[in-house]
Amino acid sequence: MPTGSLVTFEGGEAVGKSTQVRLLADRLRSLGRRVIVLREPGGTPLGEKLRELVKHSPEARGMEPMTELFLLCASRTELVAKVVRPALEDGTDVLMDRFFDSTLAYQGGGRGMNTQIVRQLIDWSVGSIRPDLTIWLRVPPDEARRRLEARNGGNVAPVDHFEEQTAEFFSRVDAVYCELVATEGHRFIELDGSSSVDSVAARIWTVVASRLRL
175 C-beta neighbours (distance < 10 Å), count: 13
- Contact between 126 and 80 under an 8 Å Cβ cutoff? The reply is yes
Task: Flag whether 135 is in a domain.
Answer: yes
Low-confidence ranges of the chain (pLDDT < 50): 156
pLDDT of residue 1: 59
In total, how many domains does the chain have?
1
Domain that includes residue 158, residue range: 6-211
193 C-beta neighbours (distance < 10 Å), count: 28
Task: Flag whether 1 is in a domain.
Answer: no
pLDDT of residue 167: 87
CATH of the domain at 131: 3.40.50.300
pLDDT of residue 151: 67
pLDDT of residue 3: 86
E runs forming strands in the chain: 6-10, 35-39, 93-97, 133-138, 188-192
Secondary structure (3-state) at 56 = helix
pLDDT of residue 13: 86
d(CA 101, CA 115): 12
pLDDT of residue 214: 84
Task: Flag whether 108 is in a domain.
Answer: yes
**Report field, pTM of the whole predicted structure over 0.75:** yes
Strand partners, 138: 192
Q: From the DSSP assignment, how many helices (H) and strands (E) are in the chain?
A: 9, 5
Task: Flag whether 41 is in a domain.
Answer: yes
